[in-house]
Structure 1
Amino acid sequence: MTGSVTQMIIEILTGKFEIPAEEVSQGTVFEELAVDSLALLEMSLILEKRLGVSIEEGVLTGQQTIEEAARVVEGLNAPAATGPAAA
């Protein structure tokens, strides 16, 4: 599902934030696109609504690539790999 989350992030960047599609790829770092913390917070809220997950402030950072951010968001859906069941 990471691919679909990656695609969602790219769609938000090119649609909502009007960043030219040719500037955006999976390996693009948010800071390279001048995406600031406020824009990342807004993106988090959009992703929360679309995916039904809770994304804490600061989970998405300007130093992440789009693919790294997608993996982090995807991990929010995964069951916790801790506790007695994981042993």
Structure 2
Amino acid sequence: MTGSVTTMIIDILTGKFDIPAEEVSPDTVFDDLAVDSLALLEMSLILEKRLGVSISEGVLTSGQSVDEAARVVEALGAPAAVGPTAV
């Protein structure tokens, strides 16, 4: 279930990158939020630390939606059900 990882990505976008919550949904594409490659790399590092997976540079792209990114992260071995975390 991508819901938990999706929620985690949304939390990172709204908490770490100060994107208004009303602008972010599972269908939102990173490019529409002006999330650049540096921000995606930073998000990858945060997700690696929280989920214990290795995310290579370029795995998350600006053309992905939040939900697509969550599915990619889960395919790398991230647990499907993760608890709440602080940003």
TM tier relative to shorter chain? 0.7 to 0.9
Structure with the largest fraction of helix: 1
Gapped regions of structure 1 (runs ≥ 5): 79-87
> What TM-score comes out, normalization by structure 1 length?
0.88
CA distance in structure 1 between the partners assigned to 2:55 and 2:3 by the alignment: 18
1:56 maps to which residue? 56
1:67 maps to which residue? 67
Runs ≥4 in structure 1, deviation > 6 angstroms? none
**Equivalences for residues 1-87 of structure 1 within 5 A:** 1-77=1-77
Q: Which has the larger radius of gyration?
A: 1
> What TM-score comes out, normalization by structure 2 length?
0.88
CA distance in structure 1 between the partners assigned to 2:19 and 2:8 by the alignment: 14
Q: Paired residues, what number? A: 78
Gapped regions of structure 2 (runs ≥ 5): 79-87
How far has the Cα of 1:2 moved from its partner? 1.2
Structure number with the bigger relative contact order (C-alpha 8 A, sep ≥ 6) is 2
RMSD: 0.9
